[in-house]
């Protein structure tokens, strides 16, 4: 069985992430979407919320070979212990490539069986990042069309990340 892993914070899940999930899932038997805890960032959503929203979006997209896991720790160890043959990373631009290449080489050094596959982001999503989405949310902007509909509804219905109520 061919297992790939797509790690990320997915805070929040964007249409760019969902596009990579859909495309990568066609290349393997199981795509492990690993929700990474980044201790250097203050999350918009809890891991539990992110997993729920990812599962809903993936199910809505008709992708049935995705396994969701929480992840923190050493990636090379997790990959080795869980028989993952490839890590998937999305690339939007040159800075993404520049930051991802050293990681891929280091992971290959740490575990010879490690492969990294880069998928170019669909051009219509190339400007999307979770950080940009958070900024739009913070300033009460519309995230419609930037994130899957279930994610938009959840964030807006729960007033997550907003600096003030829309009525102010």
- Residues serving a catalytic function are 17, 41, 92, 130
Phi and psi dihedrals of 66, rounded to 5? -105, 130
Dump the DSSP string for 88-129.
EEEE-SHHHHHHHHHHHHHHHHH-TT--EEEEEPPGGGTT--
Neighbouring-strand partners of residue 85: none
The CA-based angle 82-86-90, given to 5 degrees, is 125
Tell me whether the omega of the peptide bond preceding residue 140 falls within 30 degrees of 0, making it cis. no
Strand order in 66-71's β-sheet?
66-71, 30-36, 3-8, 86-91, 116-120
């Amino acid at each position: 069985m061919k297992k790939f892993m797509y790690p990320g914070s997915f805070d929040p899940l964007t249409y760019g992430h969902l596009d990579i999930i859909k495309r990568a899932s066609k290349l393997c038997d199981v795509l492990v979407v690993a929700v990474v805890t980044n201790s250097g960032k203050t999350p918009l959503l809890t891991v539990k919320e992110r997993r729920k929203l990812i599962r809903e979006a993936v199910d809505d997209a008709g992708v049935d070979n995705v396994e969701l896991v929480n992840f923190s720790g050493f990636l090379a160890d997790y990959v080795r212990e869980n028989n993952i043959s490839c890590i998937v990373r999305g690339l939007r631009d040159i800075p993404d490539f520049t930051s991802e290449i050293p990681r891929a080489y280091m992971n290959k050094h740490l575990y010879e069986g490690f492969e990294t596959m880069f998928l170019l982001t669909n051009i219509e999503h190339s400007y999307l990042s979770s950080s940009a989405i958070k900024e739009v949310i913070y300033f009460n902007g519309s995230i419609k069309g930037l994130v899957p509909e279930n994610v938009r509804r959840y964030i807006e219905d729960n007033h997550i990340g907003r600096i003030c109520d829309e009525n102010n």
